A and B are shown apart, each in its own frame.
Chain A
Amino acid sequence: MGTVGDAVEMVDVRKTYQIGEPVHALDGVTLSIPRGSYTAIMGPSGSGKSTLMNLVGCLDTPTSGTVSIDGQEISGLSDRERTTLRGTTVGFVFQTFNLMPRLNALENVALPQLFRGVSREKRHERARDLLGRVGLGDRIDHQPNELSGGQRQRVALARALVNDPAIILADEPTGNLDSETEADVLDLFEEFHDAGTTMIVVTHERHVAERAERIIHLLDGEIEWIESLDESNSSSASDSRGETKGSEMGSNEGAIDHNDVARGDENGASTSDDGGR
């Protein structure tokens, strides 16, 4: 399923935490996310959304199954290679911002490039440019505690972009924002998406998820169903797994056509849990 060139490909991924009773944070997830697509992930609290994001972000490794990012299987990589992949291919936007408290906005945005050995001038030039793009050109000297929540989130966003990642992961990026800043952030996402970046956004809110091309619904560590959001049939998804698969495949081609940056003319995304195969 899926193509070798997919941005993310997961096959029968399980993540089990052994604390007394084993907790299956992910329980056999198979999915592929094509390059240049815009995917939302929804599900109740504890359903495994963050766990999934950590795997895609190369922060974690699965207990079993395979996860491939940009064509590279992450459990086959050394810790070092995984870190490099994380630094170069993935941009993570965390729900809690996760900015360095003692660094100012500029230095926070430039941080990922520091670890790649980019010179100070080049780093700061790039960071200044990105901060300008997220509308914080006049806040580059401010430390995180001198910024509002929305501004911090935009700094985090700029930082995620600094290495020109192929994939942007955002775990509840608007959870702490008011509706106006939320709209700003979502507009930025749309902009990146239009520029060809693969977007994966975790959210609890329907209207945030609806900005995406499709929504993956998680429940208890399994994919419950996948909802395609074509302008025409955004509400036609059904609970039946077979139907889900079919409609998702159909709609996805449309999504790819719609996105001029994405490549690939076969099924961009396909997904199923074990039962669906």
Chain B
Amino acid sequence: MRPLESLRLSWRSIRGHRLRSALTTLGVIIGIAAVIAFVSLGASLQAGIIGDISPDDQRNLYGWAADPDTEGGPLAGAQFVFSQNDLDNVSELEPVEAAYGYATIDAQSITYGGETRLQGDGLIAAGPSYIREGSLKEGRQFQMGEREAVINPAAAEQFDENVSVGDELEVTIVTGGTETLTVVGITDSSEGQSPFEGFEAAPRIYVPTDPFYVDQAVGPAAGNGDTDVDNGDRDVRFIAIVVEAPSADQDDVDRTRDAAIAYFESDQSDASEFLGDDLAVILQTSTELLQQLEDILGLLQNFIVGIAAISLVVGSIGIANIMLVSVTERTREIGIMKAVGAQNRDILTLFLSEAVILGVVGAVLGTALGLAVGYLGAWYIDLPLVYPFEYVVLAIAAGIGVGVISGLYPAWRAARTDPIDALRYE
């Protein structure tokens, strides 16, 4: 029998049981769709994040204190341990360019020119050099101790009349009161400046930690529970810090990291009273942090692929099961075909192609569904879409494989059916 003819016959018998065939392929569809969706999302995520790291970000070390065994990316399990005093002292160290705290200040809304916009992301408080000179489109960095702000284009353009350098913004703080900020600079991009913020584009307002964080930190909302002990500057603690190395050179970065950690662990520092076996200072560059994120992402991806593989196995069992039912159901047809001259090989091909068609249809639909989900996901979180084409080829191959594996035994059974028994079968 010609291969095309057996495909045609198999396709007809599949179409003869539309619902059954559709349900059978569902297992394969879901498995393949899950793999394709997560792989394309993962690839897009990686492309999106890595594309956002600028080379001069490489000299910044992002730090926090957490249990060294904690996993989960930046700030996972972090505690408020770093005092302003510590940061000032670290800045003085020879291999350190600058050191400052990083914090978000919960804000409700921003008012400019009589218009009010919600600002759920709050204000980002950091040191002046957190906004690098190179990433300013206009104006200058803010200064410590001043009520100044640098904003990004998304924040500037959300008002009818764009905010420009020199304008004043009213910010309503969650913990009470309003602050008036003078805009001194606007960045060139609306994406995040560091892994602490995340890299997606959003309206952002950057302010100095002094006075904004120092003022807010005395309130419980900032997470500092020791308010009733001492309300002075000294007891304001940061959960996150940034330590800048003199250059992006790996040796410089390592020296800076060693010096800063040595200081924090020495008795001189305020942080040292909390540090110990289960609380250590972690200082990492964005690349190192992203490496962790990627590891987590990879782990998640492996997990999903594992589940998908199980789904494929279940799908194969489903196809095998339906094929066995089909062989039994069509015993008489097999007998007829053999009686009129069908060779064992013809019958084998017929049933095998039926299983392979089911597998391939499942794989194609699953791939389409997976790409659609991946595309929607990437579009939703605003990432560049990367289609994992090698996985598409792999998925089709998997579909064929599933079909062959699950169809082999039923087809073999069909092929060796005795024509007389089959014709006698009611």
By a beta-carbon cutoff of 8 Å, the part of chain A in contact with chain B is 54, 57, 59-60, 79-80, 83-84, 86-88, 92, 94, 98-102, 111-112, 114-117, 120, 159, 163
Task: Kindly identify which residue among B1, B16, B420 contacts A115, using a CB–CB cutoff of 8 Å.
Answer: B1
Give 11 new A-B contacts, CB below 8 A, not counting A92-B340, A102-B13: A59-B419, A59-B420, A83-B342, A83-B343, A87-B340, A92-B339, A98-B339, A111-B337, A115-B1, A115-B342, A115-B346
Residues of A within 8 A of B419 (CB): 59
Task: Kindly identify which residue among A80, A99, A117 contacts B336, using a CB–CB cutoff of 8 Å.
Answer: A99
Whether B339 and A84, one on each chain, are in contact in the complex, defined by CB atoms closer than 8 angstroms, is: no
Nearest CB of chain B from residue A242's CB, rounded to whole Å: 35
User: Which of chain B's residues has its CB closest to A117's CB?
Assistant: B2
Q: Report the Cα distance A111→B1, complex, angstroms.
A: 10
User: Which of chain A's residues has its CB closest to B338's CB?
Assistant: A83
Task: Kindly identify which residue among A60, A101, A112 contacts B340, using a CB–CB cutoff of 8 Å.
Answer: A112
Type the 1/0 row for B10-42, where 1 means its CB is closer than 8 Å to any CB of A: 001100100000000000000000000000000
Q: Report the Cα distance A100→B340, complex, angstroms.
A: 11
Residues of A within 8 A of B1 (CB): 114-115, 117
Q: Report the Cα distance A68→B61, complex, angstroms.
A: 92
Q: A98-B336, A101-B333, A102-B12 are in contact. Are A115 and B423 (CB under 8 A)?
A: no
Residues of A within 8 A of B366 (CB): none
Nearest CB of chain A from residue B11's CB, rounded to whole Å: 12
B176 CB–A CB distance under 8 Å? no
Whether B343 and A115, one on each chain, are in contact in the complex, defined by CB atoms closer than 8 angstroms, is: yes
B332 CB–A CB distance under 8 Å? yes
Q: Report the Cα distance A100→B13, complex, angstroms.
A: 11
Residues of B within 8 A of A54 (CB): 420
Whether A86 and B339, one on each chain, are in contact in the complex, defined by CB atoms closer than 8 angstroms, is: yes
Q: Report the Cα distance A19→B336, complex, angstroms.
A: 25
Task: Kindly identify which residue among A79, A115, A117 contacts B337, using a CB–CB cutoff of 8 Å.
Answer: A115
Instruction: Supply 30 A–B pairs (Cβ within 8 Å), ascending by A.
Output: A54-B420, A57-B339, A59-B423, A60-B420, A79-B344, A80-B343, A80-B344, A83-B342, A83-B343, A84-B343, A86-B339, A88-B341, A92-B339, A92-B340, A98-B332, A98-B335, A98-B336, A98-B423, A99-B336, A101-B333, A102-B12, A102-B16, A111-B340, A112-B340, A112-B341, A115-B1, A115-B340, A115-B341, A115-B342, A159-B340
Nearest CB of chain B from residue A118's CB, rounded to whole Å: 9
Residues of B within 8 A of A117 (CB): 1-2
Whether A114 and B420, one on each chain, are in contact in the complex, defined by CB atoms closer than 8 angstroms, is: no
Most chain A CB within a 10 A radius of its CB, from B12, B332, B341, B343: B341
B115 CB–A CB distance under 8 Å? no
Residues of A within 8 A of B390 (CB): none
B249 CB–A CB distance under 8 Å? no
User: Which of chain A's residues has its CB closest to B342's CB?
Assistant: A115
Type the 1/0 row for B143-165, where 1 means its CB is closer than 8 Å to any CB of A: 00000000000000000000000
Residues of B within 8 A of A115 (CB): 1, 337, 340-343, 346
Nearest CB of chain A from residue B149's CB, rounded to whole Å: 75
B5 CB–A CB distance under 8 Å? yes
Q: Report the Cα distance A57→B423, complex, angstroms.
A: 13
User: Which of chain A's residues has its CB closest to B343's CB?
Assistant: A83
Residues of A within 8 A of B333 (CB): 100-101
Q: Report the Cα distance A183→B2, complex, angstroms.
A: 39
Q: A54-B420, A115-B1, A115-B346 are in contact. Are A100 and B336 (CB under 8 A)?
A: yes
Residues of B within 8 A of A59 (CB): 338-339, 419-420, 423
Residues of B within 8 A of A101 (CB): 333
Q: Report the Cα distance A163→B344, complex, angstroms.
A: 19
Q: Report the Cα distance A120→B5, complex, angstroms.
A: 9
Residues of A within 8 A of B339 (CB): 57, 59, 86, 92, 94, 98
Nearest CB of chain B from residue A231's CB, rounded to whole Å: 36
Nearest CB of chain B from residue A110's CB, rounded to whole Å: 10
Residues of B within 8 A of A99 (CB): 336
Nearest CB of chain A from residue B262's CB, rounded to whole Å: 81
Q: Report the Cα distance A14→B343, complex, angstroms.
A: 26
Q: Report the Cα distance A101→B16, complex, angstroms.
A: 11
Whether A83 and B341, one on each chain, are in contact in the complex, defined by CB atoms closer than 8 angstroms, is: yes
Residues of B within 8 A of A102 (CB): 12-13, 16
Nearest CB of chain A from residue B346's CB, rounded to whole Å: 5
Residues of A within 8 A of B12 (CB): 102
Whether A84 and B344, one on each chain, are in contact in the complex, defined by CB atoms closer than 8 angstroms, is: no
Task: Kindly identify which residue among B13, B337, B341 contacts A163, using a CB–CB cutoff of 8 Å.
Answer: B341
Q: Report the Cα distance A86→B335, complex, angstroms.
A: 13
User: Which of chain A's residues has its CB closest to B5's CB?
Assistant: A114
User: Which of chain A's residues has its CB closest to B8's CB?
Assistant: A120
Whether B420 and A116, one on each chain, are in contact in the complex, defined by CB atoms closer than 8 angstroms, is: no
User: Which of chain B's residues has its CB closest to A94's CB?
Assistant: B423
Task: Kindly identify which residue among B2, B16, B336, B341 contacts A87, using a CB–CB cutoff of 8 Å.
Answer: B341
Nearest CB of chain A from residue B15's CB, rounded to whole Å: 9
User: Which of chain A's residues has its CB closest to B6's CB?
Assistant: A114
Whether B336 and A116, one on each chain, are in contact in the complex, defined by CB atoms closer than 8 angstroms, is: no
Residues of B within 8 A of A83 (CB): 338, 341-344
User: Which of chain A's residues has its CB closest to B4's CB?
Assistant: A120
Nearest CB of chain A from residue B257's CB, rounded to whole Å: 74
Residues of A within 8 A of B16 (CB): 102
Nearest CB of chain B from residue A44's CB, rounded to whole Å: 19
Most chain B CB within a 10 A radius of its CB, from A87, A99, A159: A87
User: Which of chain B's residues has its CB closest to A102's CB?
Assistant: B16
